[in-house]
Amino acid sequence: MINFYEVVETNQMIEEENLDVRTITLGISLMDCIDSDLDRLNEKIYKKITTLAKDLVSTGEKIESEFGIPIVNKRISITPVALVGGSACKKPEDFVTIAETLDKAAKEVRVNFIGGYSAIVSKGMTKSDELLIRSIPMAMAKTERVCSSVNVGSTKTGIDMDAVRLCGEIVKETAEMTKDKDSIGCAKFVVLCNAPDDNPFMAGAFLGVTEGDAVINVGVSGPGVVKRAIEKCRGKGFQELCDTIKKTAFKVTRVGQLVAGEASKRLGIPFGIIDLSLAPTPAVGDSVAEILEEIGLERVGAPGTTAALAMLNDQVKKGGVMASSYVGGLSGAFIPVSEDQGMIDAVNAGSLCIEKLEAMTCVCSVGLDMIAIPGKTKATTISGIIADEMAIGMVNQKTTAVRVIPVVGKDVGDMAEFGGLLGYAPIMPVNEFDCSAFVNRKGRIPAPIHSFKN
Amino acid sequence: MKKCIITVVGKDSVGIIAKVCTYLAETNINILNISQTIVDGYFNMMAVADVENSKKELDIVAVELRDIGLQIGVNIHCQREEIFEKMHRL
């Protein structure tokens, strides 16, 4: 029998420490919508999404009130659109019509983001991959809820540097086309290496071709809960600290598993995975940076940050993995800047720079995330940043990502405002030495030696 | 059996349990176990209830109980038991 203290502990986590289920993401395969006629393709996509996801939001809301746990986002991920639109789209504008259809469908079923306006080009680009990538700036400017991603490398294939070069230009163009809103288009576009097929988190969510027709993936969170739990470990050894993080991650993930099971049952859609991540929000007390500071750093970015993050990431996985039958997605600690008040404070205090963030991405679950940089940054420099981050992912056999926002008209010392969950960010300085001769080389970086495991 | 945990926390006053229990009775929700303490003038109550035959959907019950709490100045939560079971029991 559950006792009073256990009930109080759970409710305190929810009310005071921002425990929530971050997202229920419904993955929908659009493979059966493929058509050579663009209008018919759009019609089929709209119909499939609005039919399958009809009850997603209302079911999520019902689970929220029955269990008393907030489910912050209800979202949709779809088959990479470059595959779906391949036979119907002859020019970038054709792909944009699909983005508009996705936006309309998202609004109809009341989800706040739909991810999968994507291309997987780890080794090379098809004609339709390239058309889709070239349509991204216009698609991001014309739509509100569509998220886009391009996977430009993997441990098995190496890095497609032609795609990396193109993505640098696309980031710049997207920034320019959404310059009236602090280049917010770039906040919905991410470049990935080793992108997982079942990631429920935006902006990198898409439903890979390895997946079934429809699937429920759930992302849990709870940086605030971990922070509060380890406050009790001040001055204690690593063993006690690690145990506390593991126990907390276990509890958080069990809630996610419960919600995922309920959602799957009620919607009649199979459960895929739990993504056990510490995903911060701009709210005070919902920050990964604050956890690292509680572990013993004056500010994130201080020496010791990478080690503390490596330990945190590992303990979150170890604790969470036993709480769920299927773990997948990105799973680990996220370190976005604009979405984490502690990170923003560290940048403002001069403690955190892009180079340190890059080092941190070697040991956490994603990459350079939601970082605002000067609008004058060259496309080749952005490609260089992307290439560095992709190399970390490729060599370390992990997912890495780049979501940088070159805010048009702003420079170091200014602030970019994105609003809502995307938060705000101080513009961070970028190393301005040139790398264009490197980026402009054609072809791809070969896969590393340790990828040959056959 | 479908069980719910109802918790009431707030400043003590006359008739808190009466209000909650009247609502539960009207909704055909059976209380299985109830405990209550007062710490420093603060009222803490937890009840385990059987909601199998409830006349209303659980999300409605949760909202209506919360509203009753607002009227009498206490926080009332009504949550499915599983969330606590899953979190605290292997």
Tell whether A2 is within 8 A of chain B (Cβ): yes
Interchain pair B62, A68: CB under 8 A: yes
Specify the higher pLDDT residue, B90 or A198: A198
The length of chain A in residues reads: 454
Q: Which residues of B touch A17 (CB under 8 A)?
A: none
Q: What is the ipTM of this complex?
A: 0.89
Specify the higher pLDDT residue, B1 or A290: A290
A interface test, pick of B5, B54, B86 with most A CB neighbours within 10 Å: B86
Q: Which residues of B touch A65 (CB under 8 A)?
A: 58-59, 62-63
- What is the block-wise mean pLDDT of chain A (454 residues), using blocks of 10 residues? 87 88 96 96 97 96 94 96 95 97 97 97 96 97 97 97 98 96 96 95 94 94 92 95 95 93 96 92 90 96 97 94 90 92 95 96 92 97 98 96 96 92 92 97 96 88
For residue A252, the model assigns a pLDDT of 92
For residue A217, the model assigns a pLDDT of 95
The H or E element containing residue A156 is none
For residue A443, the model assigns a pLDDT of 96
For residue B55, the model assigns a pLDDT of 95
- What is the location of CATH 3.20.70.20 in chain A? 26-193, 219-446
* Cα separation, A76 vs A429, whole angstroms: 34
Interchain pair B77, A11: CB under 8 A: yes
Tell whether B87 is within 8 A of chain A (Cβ): yes
Question: In degrees, to the nearest 5, what angle opens at C-alpha A317 toward C-alphas A315 and A322?
Answer: 110
C-beta atoms surrounding B6 within 10 Å: 25
Tell whether A8 is within 8 A of chain B (Cβ): yes
Topology classification of domain A219-446: Anaerobic Ribonucleotide-triphosphate Reductase Large Chain (3.20.70)
Instruction: Quote the pTM value.
Output: 0.93
A interface test, pick of B48, B66, B84 with most A CB neighbours within 10 Å: B84
For residue B40, the model assigns a pLDDT of 81
For residue range A344-363, what is the model confidence (pLDDT) as tens digits? 999 999 999 999 999 999 99
Q: Which residues of B touch A68 (CB under 8 A)?
A: 62, 77-79, 83
Interchain pair A66, B62: CB under 8 A: yes
Q: Which residues of A touch B76 (CB under 8 A)?
A: none
Sign of CA dihedral A319, A324, A325, A328: negative
Query: Which residues 6+ apart lie within 8 Å of A114 measured at CB?
Result: A49, A75, A76, A77, A78, A102, A103, A105, A106, A145, A146, A147
Q: Which residues of B touch A1 (CB under 8 A)?
A: 33, 48
Tell whether B46 is within 8 A of chain A (Cβ): yes
Q: Give SS3 for A218.
A: strand
* Cα separation, A3 vs A23, whole angstroms: 29
For residue B42, the model assigns a pLDDT of 87
* Cα separation, A336 vs A317, whole angstroms: 19
Name the minimum distance, in Å, from the CA of A251 to any CA of chain B.
Answer: 5
Question: What architecture is the A26-193 domain classified under in CATH?
Answer: Alpha-Beta Barrel (3.20)
Q: How many CA atoms lie within 13 A of A420 on its CB side?
A: 8
Side chain identity at residue A66, one-letter code: E
Tell whether B39 is within 8 A of chain A (Cβ): no
Tell whether B59 is within 8 A of chain A (Cβ): yes
* Cα separation, A319 vs A380, whole angstroms: 41
When the pLDDT of each residue in chain B is averaged and rounded to a whole number, the result is 92
Tell whether B5 is within 8 A of chain A (Cβ): yes
Q: Give SS3 for A122.
A: coil
Band of residue B38 on the pLDDT scale cut at 50, 70, 90: confident
Tokens of A23: 């997202």
Q: Which residues of B touch A251 (CB under 8 A)?
A: 87-88
CATH, range B3-88: 3.30.70.260
Question: In degrees, to the nearest 5, what angle opens at C-alpha A74 toward C-alphas A73 and A80?
Answer: 115
Q: Which residues of B touch A8 (CB under 8 A)?
A: 7
For residue A351, the model assigns a pLDDT of 97
Tell whether B63 is within 8 A of chain A (Cβ): yes
For residue range B66-85, what is the model confidence (pLDDT) as tens digits? 999 999 999 999 999 999 99
Tell whether B50 is within 8 A of chain A (Cβ): no
Interchain pair A68, B77: CB under 8 A: yes
